[in-house]
Amino acid sequence: MAQLQVRDTAGAGLPDINIRIAEGSGSSEQAIYDVYTDDGGNSSWSIPYWPEAAYTLHVNVVDVNAAYGSAVVPVSTVGGAQDVVIVLEKTGGSFLSSVFAHDDQYLFATDDGKPWAFAGYSMHLLISAIHTGQDVTGVLQETVDYGANVIVTIGTHLSPWKQEHGFYVDPLADVDRYQRELAQMFDLAASYNLRVAHAVLADCQYKYGVSDQRRIWDVNCEVMKGRWNVLGRIGNECYSNGYWPDDFSFPDLGGVLASYGSVGIDIEPWLTYKDWHEWEPPRDPYPKAIADSGSGILQQYTGYTNSDGLDVGPYRCPVVAIEMPFFNDTNPDQYGDERWTDPAQALQLGTHCAASCAGGATGTSNGLEAKPNGAVAAECMRQFFKGFWQGWQR
């Protein structure tokens, strides 16, 4: 059987590329088959009448991988059932490097060597929104308008609370569907030039032990691999979510930088590190949150001995304050969680964060659910990222 083979300009196979197959010169909307390339960039030819009829292939026009362009490829019957090679040009998406970039501070850099700041907006439940068919284009544009360049997501949602509120997502319930929706999430973000810092695991204590957790990790890694706009994370807050980072190994992620994930709020970060590292500063009192997102994070680059006599750091990689205080129109929010509400404090928080580390992430109660913000929370986000970019001087 002939193959469809999607390649980049260097000849490397491109996985998870959608190909729509239309009869004759039919449009993408008239396609009679949709197929996706495998890990090697290949898909079997699924049309029963090939090579007896002509077809048109519409490539990378659905679930778009924004790192590459699209193509329309007419296929005639000439030559019999030969393989069809489709070459996609790169659109300019750039991988990140983990390098020692400037003045004794470890930073991210793009693959051309330019320092890059992690300016993150938390959208933990984005995969849930996509799973239920929610239109998230508006909140992605809102994220860009605030000044963020990363969204922070979580891929596993198994708690009774999430089930009760319509956020439940089990990656192993239907692996094929989950991987399609995960790819859609990454591709949507890429279309807004947003990177995704994706934590694979959470809520594991409600359902899955180590072997299934490793399967979930593998399922996510298969989709994360090779995506220019993804930063991989084992999980979110391991002490609260029933998994242990040392139970996992890192496969070849095709250029994607990975971390062990976060530990928890105001807890020392995981003692080992990979390409980049995560730490969650305290959220209150207010002066402590500012100090620890500023001077406190610098200790992690120099290293210190904790109260138990354990050496913490030095971390010779970019360190990100992955979950800073969250904001809302009111305190507490609709679920009773404590939130900040002052735009002036948001401005100061963002400035300290960017001045002192490789980046950080904040968010809002609505933003966590991939929903638009109210007026106060939206202004807090504008001020946080205004301060962030003012503080980012390298």
All structural domains of the chain, each given as residue ranges with its CATH number in brackets, are 3-87 (2.60.40.1120), 96-391 (3.20.20.80)
Q: Are strands 118-122 and 150-154 parallel, antiparallel or unpaired?
A: parallel
| Separation between Cα atoms, residue 321 and residue 388, nearest integer Å | 12
- Hey, what are 40's tokens? 């090697």
Q: Which residues does 275 contact at the CB level (< 8 Å), separation at least 6?
A: 98, 257, 258, 259, 317
The whole-number pLDDT of residue 80 equals: 66
pTM, to two decimals: 0.79
| Separation between Cα atoms, residue 324 and residue 290, nearest integer Å | 10
The whole-number pLDDT of residue 191 equals: 80
Under a CB-based contact definition with an 8 Å cutoff, are residues 297 and 312 in contact? no
Under a CB-based contact definition with an 8 Å cutoff, are residues 146 and 347 in contact? no
**Rounded to the nearest 5°, which phi and psi values hold at 219?**
-60, -40
| Separation between Cα atoms, residue 56 and residue 61, nearest integer Å | 13
The whole-number pLDDT of residue 334 equals: 96
- Hey, what are 234's tokens? 């084992």
Match 């969650």 to its residue by tokens. 280
Beta strands in 123-224 (DSSP E): 150-154, 195-201
**Which parts of the chain register pLDDT below 50?**
101-102
**Rounded to the nearest 5°, which phi and psi values hold at 274?**
-115, -110
The whole-number pLDDT of residue 94 equals: 77
Exposure string (b/e) for 203-239, b if CB count within 10 Å is 16 or more? bbebebeeeebbebbebbbbbbbbbbbbbbbbbbbbe
